[in-house]
């Protein structure tokens, strides 16, 4: 594992967003769902408005190359993940700064930005805010990796439903944005989202495959049914614009995927999860992914704002830390993304493991009292509910 790392500590100031702001002004008359697509279209026509400052760091592929070919999904997707990363970091920083304004004496926590390149091809940008007042650990990563697929990584892909021959000579391209946000206050749920684009080429017979995957899911510690309904409704609206069957299908897939098998419980209250989206065509599949990404901020930030100033007890915090132990169990034992990452040669483990909470606990045989609020959450994790 050899990579070149450039690290900066960065506050996402609004003045760094000049390019996007202009863009947003232009876009305000359009609906939310189409804004990302339009930004990409506008980027092409107004190339001068896109520069390195539009993102959290320099892009992995030179920006000029990314803007040079509007037909390449690889390039479109890299621009897309860079934009999602910037937008989410910007929103989180605003929340972190706002809470800080209450007493105004402290310098608030900022995102650390690490741009790394991979000897084998590609690289990534990791943005991590740690030990903040609102966010105990929040990471938003993008990565663009390509090369030859090793046997263990191919095996991970196979379990996603792609059956490649054992002796196939495979080239791959993977680009994605991935985030886990662990707030400090146990009243505020943890959020996870991940959107990715894959291409695999079987060099033996020159067959090419592409697909999108992704999802957004939430892990509360104290259940607030209104918040959970808002979260699911926002995701459902994003799905419904593309296919009326998607929400039900991907909600169910999410409950099945984020499942801690040995404990027979879900990690959280679900959301969306999908893999292998290669229909009806590349453009429409990408449009759906963009709608999902557009829903990240509206599904989650209101939930943060609703709860961030609620008080909590010592035992609420202890319960949150125990549930974070379960989060670690899921991510290290079952999560295919983590496994795929850790066996991909030259991948950066610090970026993969930023999903782990700052602190977690394991207490032997902990079991919440029947009827307690902890128990009420467990009922939902043991038996996923329909929220909308």
Given strand 122-130, what is the order of strands in its sheet?
3-10, 111-118, 122-130, 135-148, 170-183, 190-202, 207-219, 270-277
62-101 footprint of its own copies as x/- string (CB under 8 A): ----------------------------------------
By C-beta, is 24 or 383 nearer to its own copies?
383
- Minimal distance, residue 144 CB to its own copies, in Å: 20
Pairing between β-strand 259-260 and β-strand 265-266 as defined by DSSP bridges: antiparallel
Regarding 45 and contact with its own copies (CB under 8 A), the answer is no
Q: Which span (207-215, 227-235, 237-245, 324-332) binds its own copies, by CB under 8 A?
A: 324-332
Which of 45, 36, 47 has its CA nearest to residue 84?
A: 36
One residue of 12, 356, 380, 381 binding its own copies per CB under 8 A: 356
Q: Is 332 near its own copies (CB under 8 A)?
A: yes
Cβ–Cβ under 8 Å, residues 349 and 342: yes
Which candidate, 251, 256, 222, 221, places its Cα nearest to that of 326? Answer: 221
Task: Single out the segment in contact with its own copies by CB under 8 A; choices: 57-65, 297-305, 352-360, 376-384.
Answer: 352-360
First to last CA, the chain: 45
Q: How far is the CB of 177 from its own copies (least distance, A)?
A: 17
* DSSP line for 111-143: EEEEEEEETTSEEEEEEEEES-SSEEEEEEEEE
Which of 73, 128, 140, 222 binds its own copies (CB under 8 A)? It is 128
Residues 232-291 that bind its own copies (CB under 8 A): 261-264
Smaller CB distance to its own copies: residue 64 or 262? 262
Select the span of 26-34, 194-202, 229-237, 353-361 touching its own copies (CB under 8 A).
Answer: 353-361
# of chain residues touching its own copies (CB under 8 A):
34
Kindly state whether residue 114 participates in binding its own copies, applying the rule CB under 8 A.
yes
**Catalytic residue (one of 192, 230, 232, 242):** 192
Closest separation in Å from C-beta 139 to its own copies: 7
Is the dihedral angle over the CA atoms 289, 217, 33, 123 positive or is it negative? negative
> Tokens 């782990």 correspond to what residue?
356
Out of 350, 379, 382, 383, which residue is the one contacting its own copies (CB under 8 A)? 350
Residues 6+ apart with CB under 8 A from 217: 191, 192, 193, 254, 258, 267, 268, 269, 270, 271, 272, 273
Looking at the Cβ atoms of 2 and 25, the one nearer to its own copies is: 2
Tell me how crowded residue 162 is: count the other CB atoms within 10 A of its CB. Answer: 15
Instruction: Report in angstroms how near the CB of residue 141 gets to its own copies at its nearest.
Output: 11
CB of 37 to its own copies, least distance (A): 33
Q: Give the number of other Cβ atoms within 10 Å of residue 201's Cβ.
A: 18
Contact predicate 89/140, CB 8 Å: yes
As measured in angstroms, the least distance from the Cβ of 135 to its own copies is 12
Check residue 301 for interaction with its own copies (CB under 8 A): no
Of positions 168, 359, 378, 388, contacts its own copies by CB under 8 A: 359
Q: Which is nearer to its own copies, 105 or 264 (CB)?
A: 264
Q: What is the rounded distance in angstroms from the CA atom of residue 123 to the CA atom of residue 348?
A: 9
Yes or no: say if 32 and 45 are a contact pair by the CB < 8 Å rule: no
Q: Which of 150, 298, 302, 325 binds its own copies (CB under 8 A)?
A: 325
CA–CA distance from 305 to each of 129, 218, 255 (Å)? 18, 15, 26
Neighbouring-strand partners of residue 139: 128, 180
Nearer to its own copies, 16 or 126 (CB): 126
| Cα separation, 82 vs 62, whole angstroms | 13
The angle subtended at Cα 76 by Cα 73 and Cα 80, nearest 5°, is 130
Active site residue 279: no
Site string (131-170) toward its own copies, x via CB under 8 A: ------x-x-------------------------------
Nearer Cβ to its own copies, position 1 or 203? 1
Active site residues: 192
User: Residues in the site for its own copies, rule: CB under 8 A?
Assistant: 1, 112, 114, 126, 128, 130, 137, 139, 261-264, 321, 325, 328-329, 332-333, 342, 349-350, 352-354, 356-365
């Amino acid at each position: 594992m050899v990579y070149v790392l450039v690290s900066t500590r960065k506050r996402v100031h609004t003045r760094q967003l000049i390019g996007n702001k202009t863009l947003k002004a232009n876009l305000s008359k359009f609906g939310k769902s189409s804004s990302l697509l339009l930004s990409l279209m506008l980027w092409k026509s107004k190339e001068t408005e896109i520069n390195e400052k539009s993102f959290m760091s320099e892009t992995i592929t030179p920006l000029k190359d990314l803007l040079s070919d509007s037909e390449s999904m690889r390039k479109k997707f890299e621009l897309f993940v860079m934009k999602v990363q910037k937008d989410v970091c910007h929103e989180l920083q605003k929340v972190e700064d706002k809470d800080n304004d209450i007493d105004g004496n402290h310098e608030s926590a900022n995102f650390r930005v690490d741009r790394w390149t991979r000897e084998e091809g590609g690289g990534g940008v990791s943005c991590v805010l740690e030990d903040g007042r609102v966010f105990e650990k929040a990471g938003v990563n993008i990565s663009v990796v390509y090369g030859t697929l090793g046997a263990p990584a191919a095996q991970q892909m196979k379990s996603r439903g792609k059956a490649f021959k054992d002796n196939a000579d495979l080239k791959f391209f993977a680009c994605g944005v991935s985030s886990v946000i662990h707030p400090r206050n146990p009243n505020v749920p943890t959020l996870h989202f991940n959107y990715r684009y894959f291409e695999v080429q079987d060099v033996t017979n020159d067959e090419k495959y592409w697909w999108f995957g992704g999802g957004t899911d939430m892990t509360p510690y104290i259940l607030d049914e209104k918040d959970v309904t808002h979260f699911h409704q926002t995701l459902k609206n994003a799905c419904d614009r593309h296919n009326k069957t998607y929400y039900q299908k991907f909600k169910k897939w999410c409950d099945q995927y984020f499942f801690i098998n040995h404990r027979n419980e879900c990690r959280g209250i679900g959301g969306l999860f999908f893999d292998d989206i290669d229909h009806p065509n590349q453009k429409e599949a990408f449009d759906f992914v963009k709608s999902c990404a557009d829903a990240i901020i509206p599904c989650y930030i209101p939930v943060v704002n609703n709860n961030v100033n609620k008080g909590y007890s010592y035992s609420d915090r202890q319960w949150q830390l125990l549930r974070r132990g379960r989060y670690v169990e899921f991510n290290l034992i079952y999560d295919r993304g983590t496994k795929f990452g850790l066996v991909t040669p030259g991948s950066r483990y610090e970026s993969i493991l930023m999903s782990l909470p700052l602190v977690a606990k394991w207490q032997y045989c902990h079991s919440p009292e029947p009827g307690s609020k902890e128990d009420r959450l467990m009922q939902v994790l043991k038996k996923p509910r329909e929220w909308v």
